[in-house]
Amino acid sequence: MDAHKTTLLIVGGGPGGYVAAIRAAQLGITTTLVEGAGVGGTCLNVGCIPSKAMIHAADAFHQARHFMGDGTLGIQVQDAQIDLAQTVRWKDGVVARLTGGVGALLKKHGVRLLKGRAHIVDGKTVDVSGLRAQAQSVRIQCEHLLLATGSQELDLPGLPLGGKVIGSAQALSPERVPVSLVVVGGGYIGLELGTVYRKLGTDVTVVEAKGRVLPMYDEALTNPVALSLRRLGVKLMLDTQVRGLDDQGRLRLQDAAGRESVLTADQVLVAVGRVPNTHGWGLEKLMLNMDGAAVKIDECCRTSMRNVWAIGDLTGEPMLAHRAMAQGQMVAEIIAGHCRHFAPACIAAVCFTDPEVVVAGLRPDTAQSQALDVVHAEFPLTANGRALTLASTDGFVRVVARRDNHLILGWQAVGVGTSELAAAFAQSLEMGACLEDVAHTIHVHPTLGEAVQEAALRALGQGLHI
């Protein structure tokens, strides 16, 4: 077995892993990155990026079909069709461009990339097998070991993937548009993909065990999403449990009253969440402290073993690529001797549903549950000029702030294009902005960003446009 030494060995080339590798190399740390599939991990290959590409393509097709029978904008389209194979090729091209760019950056900064399967020997040693053009394994010895193995789709008992039952990765590369699709799970993954298929022409039903879609968010934010789904023709079966498939391949359901029924569909998409990827690569040999199914870390992403670090989805919620990236950058800088710790004021999150939902910081109910005296205000997009010109006025922007000193504690928004407000939300929270800071900043007209200013003005009792 070949043996190599490195200062930093990173297991997992997703957003957290590759960012940590690039930053470490920039700081002069000898770095080796091991990735068993494609650099970029789930996010770039079968998650964030391809799903957003398919969302865009499906929306463009839906808009064209909508124009066939709607003369509101004076646009008429004679015959809208979609070449699904070409759409998938375009999506794959977007993915290839980004993953190729990551590979080029790793090479530029001198990161040694090993495309193979990692298996932990101990806290200083990792064997890598399955390397291209190399029959035997490679043993890597390191001073620092960074675990960035990400997460995997959560299986649903009684509904294993295979045949008509698919996961999100398979749903992003369809060979055909199914006649009917049942989406099991009303979270953001299920709703994003369910909306894609509905806009492509599929009869879509969403089955959710809770009483509403996106149950992790408050009802005011989720109502516009549910309304939009129903307008699209998506059927919502709420308070309903999935019990598996019967012997005829039909989905067995049970409602809140215990009544059972069956549902027939061309395909079934299981989207009930993700879990940390902790199996199959020897994590158990390290005997690290765990936090449920996740690796337990401190504010610097240290595990319970000296010089063994963990970042991203492996460490639990929130499972967000940008969280993993920030953690990876921080770990590299700590190893290089910088004084760092991970204590963000907020980590914004976006659901790319139609309309989009973005949250950052505290909601009014969560602030009040922490015994904080807060003021909050919403500005409806029906009063925003840019939203009117986009013919998309469902939704609002909400701000939450302390009543005594007006320190902003949180932002939420729902509406078309509101994902682009996430940076402004996060920045105001990180900088400790008050309502007056936002309200007295001149915002460009006409933009959705004006709704941010207007929400702050309303919270101060100074609303101008409502």
Span 321-335, pLDDT tens digits: 999 999 999 999 999
**What is the per-residue pLDDT for 158?**
86
- Catalytic residue, candidates 279, 322, 445, 465: 445
Tell me, yes or no, if 445 is annotated catalytic: yes
Span 338-371, pLDDT tens digits: 999 999 999 999 999 999 999 999 999 999 999 9
Span 46-60, pLDDT tens digits: 999 999 999 999 999
Give, as one character, the DSSP assignment of residue 431.
T
Q: Mean pLDDT across the stretch 278-300? A: 97
Q: 328 with 17: CB under 8 angstroms?
A: yes
d(CA 41, CA 328): 14
Which structure tokens are listed for 244?
């598996």
Helix pair 219-232, 188-199: axis angle to 10 deg:
20
Taking the CA of residue 41 as centre, how many other CA atoms within 13 Å lie in the half-sphere pointing to its CB?
A: 27
Burial class (CB in 10 A: 0-12, 13-18, 19+), 399: buried
Span 11-63, pLDDT tens digits: 999 999 999 999 999 999 999 999 999 999 999 999 999 999 999 999 999 99
Q: Which of 2-6, 42-46, 185-189, 416-420 has the lowest mean pLDDT?
A: 2-6
Domains of the chain by range and CATH?
2-46+88-152+275-335 (3.50.50.60), 165-272 (3.50.50.60), 349-459 (3.30.390.30)
Amino acid 442 reads I
pLDDT at 69 over 80: no
Q: Which pLDDT band, with edges at 50, 70 and 90, does 76 fall under?
A: confident
**What is the per-residue pLDDT for 278?**
97
Query: What is the value of pTM for the model shown?
Result: 0.95
Which structure tokens are listed for 275?
């879990």
